[in-house]
Amino acid sequence: MKRHIAHITLVIADYDEAIAFYTQKLGFVLIEDTILSETKRWVLIAPDKDAQCSILLAKAAGDEQKQAIGNQSGKRVFLFLYTDNFWRDHKAMTAQGINFVRQPVTENYGIVAVFEDLYGNLWDLMQPSDKQTT
Taking the whole predicted model, whether its pTM rises above 0.85 is answered as yes
- For the cut 80, the answer to whether the pLDDT of residue 2 exceeds it is yes
Mean pLDDT of 122-128: 98
Q: What is the pLDDT of residue 1?
A: 74
Strand, helix or coil for residue 85: coil
- CB of 11 closer than 8 Å to CB of 37: no
Q: Give, in order, the Cα–Cα distances in Å from 12 to each of 15, 46, 57, 69, 96.
A: 7, 16, 6, 6, 20
Tell me the pLDDT tens digit for each residue of 9-58.
999 999 999 999 999 999 999 999 999 999 999 999 999 999 999 999 99
Q: Which is more confidently placed, 67 or 132?
A: 67
**Structural domains for the chain:** 1-69 (3.10.180.10), 70-134 (3.10.180.10)
**pLDDT at residue 16, rounded to an integer:** 98
Q: How confident is the model at residue 130 (pLDDT cuts 50, 70, 90)?
A: confident
Q: 127, 84 in Cβ contact below 8 A?
A: yes
pLDDT (0 to 100) of residue 131? 64
Distance CA 59, CA 41 (A): 8
For the stretch 66-98, pLDDT in tens is: 999 999 999 999 999 999 999 999 999 999 999
